[in-house]
Amino acid sequence: MAHDHAHNAPPSDTAMRVKALETLLTEKGLLDPAAIDALVDTYENRIGPRNGAKVVARAWTDPEYKKRLLENGTDAIAEFGFSGVQGEDMVVVENTEDVHNIVVCTLCSCYPWPTLGLPPIWFKSAPYRARTVIDPRGVLEEFGVELSEDIEVRVWDSNAELRYLVLPQRPAGTEGMSEDELAGLVSRDSMIGTALADAPAG
């Protein structure tokens, strides 16, 4: 967040600092502002958790795909064309009747961009990074996920290379639903592990 200083007039100190840096690098011929426009557009409008939801819905409906996904997440996800920066080495972890998975990056913000887009602020925040590894059930409760004591909680701390995606459990009562409809039940948080997949409406 930008700091609101006493004078509080735009641009903020940080915005000005960024503008100055971009201007300098542009003047030196080291930066093309249009390239930055395109990157911002891509991550604002084209890449997000709908990608991951398609992967999950496919895994729910196609056992062969699910097998490939759990064996080699990177390759199986690339079947959708989702690959590249921050998704080079993907590991998919499956929630079951007995196991619930939750993903954190204690050191910073590692997150699978091609399938989930950019991480929300809470994922990058000190409280989430600090507490998830020491009190995962407490964190899950804060997110409204209450698990019975006999469910094992596995916490995956991303490192500099690996990115994790949680494969949530398919909700009950979804037997007749199409892959597209199923994808609509898969929230971003359910693929981080801080939520379950949504129940079908009605």
Partner 1 sequence: MNGIHDMGGMQCMGPIEREENEPAFHEEWEGRVFGMFFTNFAEGHFNVDMFRHGIERMGPAEYLETSYYEHWLHSFETLLVERGVLAEGELEEKIASLREAGG
109 assigned to active site:
yes
Question: Would you say 120 or 184 has its CB closer to partner 1?
Answer: 120
Task: Lay out the site mask for partner 1 across 123-162 (x = CB under 8 A, - = otherwise).
Answer: -xxxxxxxxxxx----x--xx-------------x--x--
Binding status of residue 79 toward partner 1 by CB under 8 A:
no
Question: Would you say 35 or 172 has its CB closer to partner 1?
Answer: 35
Q: How far apart are the first and last CA of the chain?
A: 39
Binding status of residue 36 toward partner 1 by CB under 8 A:
yes
Using the rule CB under 8 A, which residue among 40, 99, 151, 199 binds partner 1?
40
8 A C-beta contact, residue 140 and residue 166 = no
110 assigned to active site:
yes
Binding status of residue 6 toward partner 1 by CB under 8 A:
no
Q: What is the dihedral of CA 91, 163, 150, 57, to 10 degrees?
A: -60
**Binding region for partner 1 (CB under 8 A):** 1-2, 10-12, 14-25, 28, 30-32, 35-37, 39-40, 43-44, 104, 106-109, 117-118, 120-122, 124-134, 139, 142-143, 157, 160
